[in-house]
Amino acid sequence: MSKALCVVQLKLHPDQITANELDGQSKICNWLYNHLLEQANILKKRYCETQDNTIVKTLYTKRGLRNLIPGIKECHPFLHVVHSSPLKNAALRLSSVIQSYQNSRKGKRKGKPTGWPKFRSFKRSWFSLLFDEPKKGFKLINQKLIVSLGRGCDKKSRALVIPIEGGHVLKGKEIRTLEIIKEMGEYYAIFTVHRTLPERKAVKKVIALDPNHKNLAYGVDTEGKALEIKSPWWLKRFDTQIDEVKSKRDKCKRKSKLVQVLDSHGDPTGKAHWVSSRRWQHYQNVLDGLYRKRREQTKTYLYSTSHQLVKRYDIVAIGDYTPHGGGLNKGMRRAMNNRSLIGRFKEILSWVAYKSGKYSLEINEKGSTRTCSHCDGVVEGGLSPSIRVWTCQDCKTTHIRDENAAINLLKQALEQNTLKSMAKAIPVPSSGHRFVKERCAWRVLPSGVLSATRGQNGGISTTPRNQNRCMVASDPSMIMNVLL
């Protein structure tokens, strides 16, 4: 069986002394990053003046800055209290940013241009501790994580013992790396583990999804069932709250007081930095909490939807449309940029299908909306986004816009090489009201999936919500409320 790398994030529960130790380790790595960046700035300036190629080997190679660490340790003995892996990865992280800057200048990197790295502020972001070698620097025993520290000048071994929540899920797993992070005052351990993938399952049921902005996606499967997945409506509420907090924060002073930087002896170093007002910092903390909550709920929403689709179907095909920030007005453009999850949904769906032994396909959906799924007639000039139901002029078949596009995508999926043998065996339904056997809508909450069955006329049933509730066995945290 093949294997794949997976990520497991578990919460840490350090006491106050251990938390202070972790913060100290992070501060030292942050200091080393800034110190190496200062050296890189000097080397860059010297290279521009002399064009000395020996500088290139240090400044622009992957491990050039890392090789400076032993010499820095001799000048700054306090670095010995940190394990070598986090120190090494602080240098590698800086080298990676510099290489991205070089590739961006030369046109070898896609996306927005990348600038030269800047100095990091520990108060703004906690510097993560990365142990990238298996069984080196960390150990997991029962429900406790043992993290090795540096030996120090006295050459004595030191370690932190941190209680970890849910450590049993890693029992018997092959752990590759560990990264310790801090978010909103909480500490987390992110493990990279090898996971054995199941064998590919036989294809019996197929669904094709048409992604759009009216809903997350509209699908039709090979059994004549149409499925509408409602978009995450609660993201609009987050946007409103974020706008309110930003408005209040921007009325406060961001640069309230200039503070002189002192060295370890309490003497001024000649450097200074601005400190924001307490009110500005309060609103910034609230804003960070909103961003984190939205990120976690969005992730749960996408994974819940993907798991439910992969659980029911052997192949999930989806159109290749991805929004690029267009729109008729400012509100529409903002909704497409901030609340559209189509691109992330495709990535997560592909991964969930891969690790479950199922298949995920991306289909070219050009012309799928304006092409009649019954007679293949094409509407000249296309269809306006406001038209949700239309009638074909050739065969007089009435189509639901998204349903017709999903059927065309399903046909393409069945015609691909891997499914050609199934194309004749599986009937493809038409989009007319009397051809689709069943229509249902999924209203996906951050905590699970709410499925509302519809009738032939597309109306949602009014059965009370407290009837016919059942727990989904594959995921105890997900509740499926079926409205019949």
pLDDT in tens, 394-429: 888 888 888 888 888 888 888 775 555 444 445 555
Q: What is the mean pLDDT of residues 332-338?
A: 68
Q: Tell me the C-alpha distance between 402 and 399, whole Å.
A: 9
- Is 60 exceeded by the pLDDT of residue 477? no
- Residue 299, in any domain of the structure: yes
Q: Are residues 158 and 42 in the same domain?
A: yes
**Range in 2-6, 247-251, 312-316 the model is least confident about:** 2-6
Q: What is the mean pLDDT of residues 154-183?
A: 89
Q: Tell me the C-alpha distance between 345 and 239, whole Å.
A: 20
Q: What is the pLDDT of residue 39?
A: 93
- Binning pLDDT at 50, 70 and 90, where does residue 4 land? confident
- Residue 329, in any domain of the structure: yes
Q: Are residues 313 and 326 in the same domain?
A: yes
Q: Tell me the C-alpha distance between 378 and 404, whole Å.
A: 12
Q: Name the 3-class secondary structure at 22.
A: helix
Q: Half-sphere exposure (CA, 13 Å, Cβ side) for 92?
A: 10
Q: Tell me the C-alpha distance between 386 and 451, whole Å.
A: 26
Q: What is the pLDDT of residue 419?
A: 55
The strand ranges marked E within 311-429 are: 315-319, 359-363, 389-391, 398-400
Last residue of a domain, one of 281, 303, 333: 281
Q: Are residues 253 and 337 in the same domain?
A: no
Give per-residue pLDDT as tens, 263-286: 767 788 888 878 889 999 999 999
- Residue 246 domain boundaries: 239-281
Q: Are residues 343 and 449 in the same domain?
A: yes
Q: Tell me the C-alpha distance between 50 and 56, whole Å.
A: 12
End-to-end alpha-carbon separation of the chain, Å?
41
Q: What is the mean pLDDT of residues 287-302?
A: 90
Q: What is the pLDDT of residue 20?
A: 94
Q: What is the pLDDT of residue 332?
A: 66
Percent of the chain with pLDDT over 70: 85
Q: What is the mean pLDDT of residues 253-265?
A: 82
Q: Are residues 246 and 333 in the same domain?
A: no
Strand 225-229 and strand 438-445: the pairing is: parallel
Those residues whose C-beta lies under 8 Å from the C-beta of residue 88, and which sit 6 or more positions away, are 66, 69
Q: What is the pLDDT of residue 188?
A: 95
Instruction: State the chain's mean pLDDT as an integer.
Output: 82
- Residue 274, in any domain of the structure: yes
Nearest to 249 by CA among 286, 287, 283, 291: 283
Q: Are residues 391 and 437 in the same domain?
A: yes
Buried b (16+ CB within 10 A) or exposed e, 191-214: bbbeeeeeeeeebeebbbbbbbbe
Last residue of a domain, one of 228, 261, 281: 281
Q: What is the pLDDT of residue 435?
A: 62
Q: Are residues 271 and 367 in the same domain?
A: no
- Residue 459, in any domain of the structure: yes
- Residue 173, in any domain of the structure: yes
DSSP single-letter state for residue 277: -
Q: Tell me the C-alpha distance between 103 and 97, whole Å.
A: 10
Dig out the tokens for 207 from the structure.
């669904």
Cβ(361)–Cβ(413) under 8 Å? yes
Q: Are residues 276 and 397 in the same domain?
A: no
Q: What is the pLDDT of residue 368?
A: 84
Which has more confidence, 69 or 5?
69
Sign of the dihedral defined by the CA atoms of residues 39, 44, 48, 54, in that order: positive
Q: What is the pLDDT of residue 382?
A: 79
DSSP single-letter state for residue 198: P
Please calculate the CA angle 401-403-407 and round it to the nearest 5 degrees. Answer: 120
Q: What is the mean pLDDT of residues 217-221?
A: 89
Percent of the chain with pLDDT over 90: 34
Q: Are residues 320 and 464 in the same domain?
A: yes
Q: What's the pTM value of the predicted model, to 2 decimals?
A: 0.76
Q: What is the pLDDT of residue 325?
A: 61
Q: What is the mean pLDDT of residues 20-37?
A: 95
Q: What is the pLDDT of residue 476?
A: 27
Q: What is the pLDDT of residue 326?
A: 62
Q: What is the pLDDT of residue 310?
A: 92
**Range in 9-18, 186-195, 227-236 the model is least confident about:** 227-236
Q: Are residues 181 and 291 in the same domain?
A: no
Domain total in the chain: 3
Q: What is the pLDDT of residue 417?
A: 52
- Residue 171, in any domain of the structure: yes
- Residue 350, in any domain of the structure: yes
Number of H helices, E strands in the chain: 9, 20
Residue 16 is inside which H or E element, if any? helix 16-50
Which has more confidence, 326 or 182?
182
Last residue of a domain, one of 162, 177, 196: 196
Q: What is the pLDDT of residue 202?
A: 78
Q: What is the pLDDT of residue 108?
A: 85
Q: What is the pLDDT of residue 283?
A: 93
Query: Maximum CA pair distance of the chain?
Result: 87
Dig out the tokens for 151 from the structure.
């030996």
Q: Are residues 334 and 425 in the same domain?
A: yes
- Is 90 exceeded by the pLDDT of residue 42? yes
- Is 70 exceeded by the pLDDT of residue 245? yes
Q: Tell me the C-alpha distance between 92 and 90, whole Å.
A: 6
- Residue 201, in any domain of the structure: no
- Is 50 exceeded by the pLDDT of residue 473? no
Q: Are residues 229 and 276 in the same domain?
A: no
Give per-residue pLDDT as tens, 435-465: 678 888 888 877 766 666 554 433 333 233 3
Q: In sequence order, which ranges of 76-234 are alpha helices (DSSP H)?
A: 84-105
Strand partners, 363: 319
Those residues whose C-beta lies under 8 Å from the C-beta of residue 408, and which sit 6 or more positions away, are 365, 368, 371, 373
